[in-house]
Structure formats: structure tokens, C-alpha cells
A and B are shown apart, each in its own frame.
Chain A
Amino acid sequence: MTRFVTRREFLNLVGAVGGSSAALRAGSALGLLPVTKTAKALDLFALGTNSKKVAILGGGLSGLTVAYELGKRGYECTILEASHRCGGRVFTVRNGDLIDEIGNRHYCEFDDEPHMYFNGGAARIPSFHNNLLAYCKELDVELEVFVGENNNAYFQDEALLGGKPVRIKDYKTNVRGFLGEMLAKSMSEQEMNEPFTELEAENLLSIIHSFGDLREGGEYTGSSRSGYKTGGFTTHGVQKEIIEFRDLLKSRLGGRIMTASEGEQGPPLLQAKDGMDNIIAGFLRVVGQEVKYRAMVSAINVTNNGVEITYDQDGVRHSLNVDYCFNCIPTHLITGLDHNFPADYVKAMKYVRRGDAYKAAFQAKERFWEKEDIYGGITRMNNRSSSIWYPSGGIHKNKGVILAAYNFQGGLYHTNMTQEERIESHIKDGERVHPNYRSLVEKPVTIAWHRMNHMLGCAARWNRSRSGWTAEEQLMFDTLQKPVNGRHYVIGDQITVHVAWMESAIQSAHWAMEDLDKRVRAELA
């Protein structure tokens, strides 16, 4: 076993970043998480004999939340949905479903079985997204565990070991071993009088030893955590060879691999059984009759005492006059409607950029991943397709549906390709991990949110700088969150600072309804 990095080199590395305390600080820099709260029971005024009409523009999750909650309090709601389906970016495709991408509409041809589905949009529910989970419970939507973290899945990077896929457990175990060794050495060679007491220092060393699975003296010599090379059950296990530290450091994705299953994407995650759109179905069981499909809004006129909506359905122009309007149409499409919104409101809508997330899926002719000890979870690749997700359900059945690509930030790369080019790109990328991929997959679907009819975008992009929101951006956000004349609310995950989550869509709807409630209580008092 060759060791390319000596102890002295480790220490130099540590010294270069200012000793163990600097390393510890760096290690704690996890992503920011929104505050966890228990689900909010909305205390909205029940109208009783009073009558209020509400128009909900768009049958996405935020719109359905409004219809559901206000319906309970006696509001008369009408949902105008431009497309043939509700749910917006909560979109599950199954056999026969239309993927209505402008210029590339196609139908899903997966086998017609309950486990053969693909969540083309929302796909994960963190266990602390409490308002969403409360609705799932209230609406009798069956949930199951979503397997996101799987250390048996692969990490593939052309820069790492000649592009050979590495099990995530092998990558993580070795990185942790070397990091642990580095920390342990730096600890033992420093004066331990401060800032730790003797006990604290002892416990810290114990943590470091456990973290890295180190030997006596703080040496990392490999670990059985990533499994044995051979044996381990009826014969003694033979330890795998260490992946050399220098090799581990060849990939730019190391940090992502070490923390991919932390925070909001960390276990336990949940999903709706048999497809995320069962959450939408849950709402529709209650408010489904209020939805007008293929009803495309053309004009919104806010008056002093209401909102006048104009929409087209079946080639006929209709008008709908209401007391209040909740609008979850994407801001970049609202700007194309006839409206009388104030200039600062329009300025904010024009400012928001539309996301371009892209996903693709294949039907697998056989569950080849199970033969490689993989049950659910995510393989991560340093290529444009980025990920392969293995299904959490349908274990040991004949076939399954896998995610073949997921590009959240740079989806235009595949969006700008033809369907054939997209598929070829995903097959080529997948072959780097599963050599027979091409012969194992079929019946592709691609979901290019930037071009999906009636949406033309994924999650809203408010801030243009990576370093955060500017004061101007915050001002525009505040402007758009507030109602026009107390009558027209823009809602959806687009009106949150934490876009792309279902919980955000719901909390946006709650914010707007609580604002409305104050006005209604004042009016009817």
C-alpha cells in the first residue's frame, strides 16, 4: 500500500489554514436551513352568512391550499387552470401522460403499473416541512420514506481514478480517515492547555478518532466502514485498499459528495406513495369541483372593491368578477397579461428571473442497480446529467423508473437540445457508471421546465448575486408580496425567499390568507 501524503504534509496543510480550529470552523459551514416550526393551524374568520368570491389563478399547490382553506371558511372559490392538469411543478408522469413541452410534447410510455412513475418536479419532502406534512395527514395522502442517501451508490468523475465509478462509501470513508488523521495529529502536537480542558480535549480526540476510524496514535490505515474487499460473514473480512488522499482530491465535487445528504436533503426524507401528485389529488378530492381546466387568464383588472378576471376557455372569452384574487401564475407570464397593476409591482415581476431546472427519466428493463447492492439513493456524476436516482419503491419487481438527469441550475444545456440529443447525452453519461446502461434503459421522458407549457420556468430567481439579496431586491420582493388594493395577491414558492419547495408554496399561501383575514375581519367587524 503506497501512501503519497505524509504526516508532515498533512500538518503543513493544517498549518496553511491556521490549525485545527480553522478546520473545525470550515467544517461547520453547512447550508442555511429555514427555522423549523410546527405546522400552523390557520385561524381564519369563518364568513357565516357573508358571501365572498375568490378567484384563484393557477391550480398549483399554493392555489389549491387557498381554495382548500378559504373553502372551509365559506368563501366561494373558482380555480382557473390554464393547462389540462393541476399541480404545476408537482408533476408525476405515468403511462399515457402528456409532457406538454412547447416544441417537444411527448407522452410517457412507461409500463402501466403503480410503481412505474417519475416525479418530474417536486420529489422530496424533508421531515420538518411541517405544513406540507400536516396537509398530507389531513388529506389522507399516504407517505413513505424516500431514500436519498445511499452510500452504496456511486460517485463518478473523469478526474477521479480515471473515471472509474467509486462507491460513495469508499470516497467518504477515506476522506474522513485522512481528515481525521490530519486533525488528530494537529491536536496532539499542539499545546492543549487552551482552549480545551483535559477532558474536553480527550473527548474531542475521541470524536476525531471515531470520525476517521483511526488507529492508536491517530493513524488512518483504512476502515471496514466501506465494507470488506472479500469475506466478513463466514470468513474473516479482508480490508479494502485505501484510495490515496491525492486521488480523492482530484475531483472538484468532493465537498458535494461529503455533504450531499445534509440539511434539507438529508435523511429522513419522505415522498407521497405512488407519486408526488397524490398530494395534489388529495386537495382535489375536496376542491376539485372548483377547478376550470384549460381556462387561460388574459386580463386582470383590480378595482377598488374587487378584481375583474377575463379568461378564455373552449374558444370563448369569459369574465369573472370576484372580491379577491390569489394569483400563482409565474410572474414572467403575468407580465404578458392585460392588467392594471402599479408600476413598482410590474417592475418587480419583470426583475425576477425564471429557473431552468431540467430532469429526465428512463424506464429500466430490469432493476440492474439492485444487482449492485443499490436500493434507492443517488449516484452523483461530474457531468451534465449530474445524477442517477434509483427508485425508493418497487423493490425486487421486474422493472423500475430511474431519474437519468437532474440539472437544477444549468438546465438550459439540455433544454436547448433536441429530444434525441438529450437522450443520447444521458445514455453516454450513465454509461460511465453502468457500462451496459444503453441496453438497459428505454422509454425516456424529459422535463425541461423552461419550456413547459403554461409555466416556462422552474423556481424563481430573485437574487442575482451569490452573496445574497440586495436592498433593492428585498424591496421588490416586499412590494410583490403585498396585495394590490388589498385585493390581488401573488402567491406560490415564487413569493418566498426559499423557492422550489412545496412547503414554501404553502407558507406563501398562508401568509396571503392571514393578510386577507385581517382585512376581512376589519370589514365585517
Chain B
Amino acid sequence: MFILPWMKANAAEENESYNDRYCTTCHGADGRGNYGVQAPRLAGMEPWYLQRQLENFRAGLRGVHPSDIEGIAMRPMATKLTDESIADIIEWVGSWDYVSTENTIEGDARAGAQLFTQCATCHGVDGLGNEALGAPALRGQNDWYLVTQLKNFKQGWRGNENGDTFGQQMMAMTQMLTDDAAINNVVSYINTLGRD
């Protein structure tokens, strides 16, 4: 008999169980990133970087400026996380294979290459990042996300909180990107670095 009385089905839902593995609703299947809700790629992200950002969101060092629209959406989720859930999420994210992203930003990659020499100091000439300097990989991240974050840093919408040491460095560094075109150029260059 497949016809269930509805009230009974509802009763079974009482205290519906859950865990904190919410990531893929926003960040896409296997954490590939989702332009539709402006949630970046998590697959392939360094565990130490992911941990630091989740902790920053939780501590109110990121996602607090009213103009950081996506950060504000992220923060309530992170606020609920325990150290154990963060560890669990990092393990889960680590299980996803990286698949290459599509390029969506148009800019002058040659001009961007000049600008990137500054970025390379910390993020490496190949854009692969440098854990010792606290700098994450840039290549292979969704380009629209990089653009948003560079703009956020430049405006002080990210990186402006006391205690966000790395963010404050990024705020200072992004001042060299004089306009939106410069941001598009440097991201276009990062796109040429590719990632398999």
C-alpha cells in the first residue's frame, strides 16, 4: 500500500535530522562554484585556507560589511559551525575532484601580467599560492569571484576588520588596481595560468 496518511508522514519528520554539510546548495555540485548565487569554487581549495576563512567568517572578521553581499550571506552559516564541523567540512571538501572552470571575464591579459608581478610575491608566479605566506592559490578559482573579492578588498568591504591580518595586507595591495579595468586585466591574466 503506497498511499500514506499525510499526518503520519509529517509525524515522521519531527525533529528532522541534519548536519552542517550545507555547502553544495550554494557552492554547487562537488563544490564547483555557482555563478547563479555568486558562491565560489571550494573544490581544490587548500584546507588551511578554507579553515582560516570559515574561522574568519565565524569570528566576524569577514562577511560583516553591509556591502559585502555574498559575505553577509555566508556568515550566518559559519557562525553556527563548531571546530568539529569545520574539520568535517574540510574533509568533505577535500573529497571533491577539481574540474576546470570556464573563463567569463574579458580583459587585457598582457596588461594584467604586469600587475600580477605584485601578486606573485605572495601567491607565486604560477598563482599556486604559498601556505607559508598565508596566500591561497588564485588560478583555477572562478574568475567572477576573484573580481568580486578584489573589488571588496579595494573598497574595504573585506579585510578591514581588526585581526584579519592577511585581509589587511590584501586591502593595501589592491590599492594598486586603479579601476575595474585593472581588476579585469589581472584576473584575465590569472585565467591564462589555467589549472587542470
Query: Could you list which residues of chain A lie within 8 angstroms of chain B, going by C-beta atoms?
Result: 82, 84-85, 94, 96-98, 100, 102-105, 107, 278, 281, 284-286, 288-289, 296-299, 330-338, 349-350, 354, 416, 418, 450-451, 453-454, 456
Contacts and interface: CB of A to CB of B under 8 A. Distances in A.
Given A285-B6, A337-B29, A103 B35 contact: no
B32 interface: yes
B29 A102 contact: no
Contacts of B78: 103
Nearest to B76: A103
B173 interface: no
Contact of A102 (B6, B13, B76, B99): B76
B13 A296 contact: no
Contacts of A85: 13
B11 to A, nearest CB: 8
A97 B13 CA distance: 7
Contacts of A330: 36
Interface in B52-85: 66, 72-73, 75-80
B24 interface: yes
Contacts of B16: 84, 97-98, 100
A285 B3 contact: yes
B14 interface: yes
B25 A456 contact: yes
B10 interface: yes
A102 B4 contact: no
Interface of B: 2-4, 6, 9-11, 13-16, 18, 22, 24-30, 32-37, 39, 66, 72-73, 75-80, 99
B13 A336 contact: no
A82 B77 CA distance: 19
Contact of B36 (A278, A349, A450): A349
Contacts of A107: 15
Given A284-B6, A333-B34, A350-B35, A102 B77 contact: yes
Nearest to A448: B76
24 contacts: A94-B10, A96-B13, A97-B16, A98-B13, A98-B15, A98-B16, A103-B80, A104-B76, A105-B18, A284-B9, A285-B4, A288-B4, A330-B36, A332-B36, A333-B36, A333-B37, A336-B26, A336-B33, A336-B39, A337-B29, A338-B32, A350-B36, A453-B22, A456-B25
B35 to A, nearest CB: 5
Contacts of A335: 28, 34-36
Contacts of B35: 335-336, 350
Contacts of B39: 336
A416 B71 CA distance: 11
Contact of A298 (B11, B30, B37): B30
A288 B72 CA distance: 37
Contacts of B66: 416
Contact of B77 (A103, A285, A416, A454): A103
Contact of A103 (B18, B32, B79, B99): B79
Task: Indicate the member of B30, B39, B99 with the most A CB atoms within 10 Å.
Answer: B30
Nearest to B75: A103
Closest 6 A/B residue pairs (Cβ): A103-B76, A336-B34, A336-B28, A332-B36, A335-B36, A298-B29
Nearest to A104: B76
Contacts of A288: 2-4, 9
Nearest to B23: A102
A418 B64 CA distance: 12
A337 B28 contact: yes
Nearest to A285: B3
A333 B79 contact: no
Contacts of B26: 102, 336, 456
Given A98-B18, A103-B80, A105-B18, A338 B3 contact: no
B36 A331 contact: yes
Contacts of B37: 332-333, 336, 354, 456
Contacts of B13: 84-85, 96-98
A12 B70 CA distance: 52
B18 A451 contact: no
A327 B84 CA distance: 36
Contacts of A289: 2
A357 to B, nearest CB: 16
Nearest to B39: A336
Given A107-B15, A453-B25, A456-B37, A336 B2 contact: no
A413 to B, nearest CB: 11
A296 B2 contact: no
Contacts of A298: 24, 29-30
A190 B61 CA distance: 70
Task: Indicate the member of B16, B34, B36, B76 with the most A CB atoms within 10 Å.
Answer: B36
Given A94-B10, A103-B80, A451 B36 contact: no
A222 to B, nearest CB: 48
Contacts of A333: 25, 34, 36-37
Contacts of A456: 25-26, 37
Nearest to A98: B16
Contacts of A281: 6, 9
A416 B69 CA distance: 9
Contact of A454 (B25, B28, B34, B72): B25
Contacts of A451: 73, 76
A250 to B, nearest CB: 31
A92 to B, nearest CB: 9
B43 to A, nearest CB: 11
B77 A336 contact: no
Contacts of B18: 98, 100, 105
Contacts of A418: 76
A278 B13 CA distance: 15
B111 to A, nearest CB: 27
Task: Indicate the member of B10, B14, B29, B73 with the most A CB atoms within 10 Å.
Answer: B29
B41 to A, nearest CB: 10
Nearest to B77: A103
